[in-house]
């Protein structure tokens, strides 16, 4: 698997030079706007290795895969700029009694050089390359989306670096995102999980979804998911059994064979009353505190090798509450990593 091509490379894309052909001044204004929590900037493999980075934040400002309300390309900027303890890189987790940045070497690796110009294949290609380079330098990539299509290149890159270890995925979402196509396109925020499974980056039986609800996708998609051995836990189950019990099952299922976990969080898993800034809001979701507790529970128990937080769409946010929640998901994961160490 480590020597396989990321299949999107078989499209119109020309060469690896596309990853570096744009200078920072050429990129759209939403790319690379400061660093997460004022962490040191380590934008390339050499600086990541020199810093001995344990965790690296990566921006994926891409929403060409959106089928509903756009704006997730502004997500990385909004999450990085979400209010926190201004003017300091220090943080103390009251929940875990850990000081994450004193225990872990955390940096910001900047954004993949995405250019939105009706070339979604290129966007996914450079995201894959960026995450591959970060993971290859020994850091755990935490990717800020972007729409959910970015999980396809990001998780594939982590799976490539981890090979021959097997990667399981725990996926929080209102929607399964396992459709075959959206309006004829194989690339969209409704299809990344199918692409990952079809291309062999993760086994279907170790792909576990939490928080599903609503009216999409259709029954045929769930039939396909069942055929792949995928497992999922709906909001009804969380309501009946409680979040902690469901998450315990999800961890066991995702690790039934694999050695490590990639965590994907679509912010629309949370009820839109607490996270309105997203492109596909679905009523009746998790509470913000349930999601943050779940992040601590998962990262505290597994070997986390990658993570993303996606579908934050600032144009629809209110008082930055969605961006703040996404920021806290990342900070809770880093704190849980630090508490383990």
Residue 7 confidence (pLDDT): 65
- Once rounded to an integer, what is the mean pLDDT over residues 4-13? 52
Q: Give the pLDDT score at 209.
A: 98
Q: What's the confidence (pLDDT) of residue 9?
A: 46
Residues, the chain, total?
A: 341
The pLDDT tens digits of the residues spanning 239-268 come to 999 999 999 999 999 999 999 999 999 999
More confident residue, 184 or 290: 290
Cis, peptide link before residue 217, omega less than 30° from 0: yes
Q: Please report whether residue 188 resides in a domain.
A: yes
User: Does the structure show a pLDDT above 90 at 331?
Assistant: yes
> Dihedral of CA 126/127/129/134: which sign?
positive
Q: Is residue 1 part of a domain?
A: no
Whether residue 82 is contained in a domain is answered as yes
Of 121, 281, 147, nearest to 214 by C-alpha is 281
The proportion of the chain whose per-residue pLDDT surpasses 90, expressed as a percent, equals 77
What is the reported pLDDT for 186? 62
Instruction: For 96-141, write each residue's pLDDT tens digit.
Output: 999 999 999 999 999 999 987 657 889 999 999 999 999 999 999 9
CB 149 within 8 A of CB 38: no
For residue 214, whether the previous peptide bond is cis, meaning omega lies within 30 degrees of 0, is: no
The pLDDT of residue 88:
56
Tell which residue, 248, 250, 251, 281, has the closest CA to residue 266. Answer: 281
In a domain? residue 147: yes
Q: Is 224 inside a domain boundary?
A: yes
**Quick check: is 2 in a domain?**
no
Rounded to 5°, angle at Cα 94 from 262 and 339: 45
pLDDT greater than 50 at residue 13: no
Query: Is the distance from CB of 78 to CB of 59 less than 8 angstroms?
Result: no
In this predicted model, what pLDDT tens digit does every residue of 31-77 receive, in sequence order?
556 899 889 999 999 999 999 999 999 999 999 988 888 999 999 99
In DSSP notation, 191-256 reads SHHHHHHHTTSS-GGGEEEEEE-SS-S-HHHHHHHHHTT-EEEEHHHHHHH-HHHHHHHHHHHHTS
Q: What is the CATH number of the domain that holds 199?
A: 3.40.800.10
Domain count, the chain: 1
Answer yes or no: is 105 within a domain.
yes
**Per-chain mean pLDDT for the chain:** 90
Structure tokens belonging to residue 14: 């020309």
Q: To which residue do tokens 């990385």 refer?
A: 76
Backbone angles phi, psi at 145, to 5 degrees: -85, 170
Asked whether residue 157 is assigned to any structural domain, the reply reads yes
Mean pLDDT score, 180-208: 85
* pLDDT over 60 at 290, yes or no: yes
Strand (E) or helix (H) holding 78: helix 75-80
Domain that holds residue 13: 7-340
The whole-angstrom separation of Cα 66 and Cα 106 is 30
pLDDT at 10: 42
3-state secondary structure 84-121: CCCCCCCCCECCCCECHHHHCCEEEEEECCCCCCCCHH
- Which pLDDT belongs to residue 17? 57
């Amino acid at each position: 698997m480590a020597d396989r091509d990321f299949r999107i490379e078989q499209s119109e894309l020309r060469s690896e030079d596309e990853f570096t052909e744009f200078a920072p001044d050429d990129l759209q204004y939403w790319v690379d706007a400061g660093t997460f929590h004022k962490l040191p900037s380590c934008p390339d493999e050499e600086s990541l290795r020199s810093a001995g980075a344990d965790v690296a934040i990566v921006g994926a400002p891409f929403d060409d895969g959106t089928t509903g309300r756009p704006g997730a390309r502004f997500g990385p900027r909004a999450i990085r700029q979400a209010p926190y303890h201004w003017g300091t890189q220090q943080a103390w987790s009251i929940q875990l009694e850990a000081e994450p940045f004193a225990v872990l070497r955390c940096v910001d690796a900047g954004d993949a050089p995405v250019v939105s110009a009706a070339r979604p294949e290129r966007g996914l290609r450079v995201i894959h390359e960026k995450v591959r380079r970060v993971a290859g330098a020994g850091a755990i990539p935490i990717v800020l989306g972007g729409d959910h299509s970015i999980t396809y290149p990001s998780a594939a890159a982590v799976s490539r670096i981890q090979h021959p270890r097997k990667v399981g995925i725990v996926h929080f979402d209102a929607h399964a995102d396992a459709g075959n196509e959206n309006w004829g396109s194989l690339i969209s925020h409704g299809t990344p999980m199918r692409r990952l499974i079809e291309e062999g980056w993760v086994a279907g039986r170790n792909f576990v979804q939490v928080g599903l609800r609503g009216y999409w996708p259709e029954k045929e998609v769930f039939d396909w998911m069942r055929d792949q051995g995928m497992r999922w836990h709906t909001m009804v189950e969380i309501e009946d059994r409680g979040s902690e019990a469901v998450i315990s099952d999800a961890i066991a299922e995702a690790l039934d064979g694999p050695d490590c976990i990639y965590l994907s969080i679509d912010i629309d898993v949370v009820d839109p009353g607490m996270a309105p800034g997203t492109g596909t809001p679905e009523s009746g979701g998790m509470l913000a505190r349930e999601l943050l507790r779940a992040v601590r529970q998962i990262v505290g128990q597994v070997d986390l090798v990658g993570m993303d937080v996606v579908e934050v769409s600032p144009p629809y946010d209110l008082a930055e509450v969605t961006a703040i929640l996404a920021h806290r998901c990342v900070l809770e994961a880093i704190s849980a990593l630090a508490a383990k160490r």
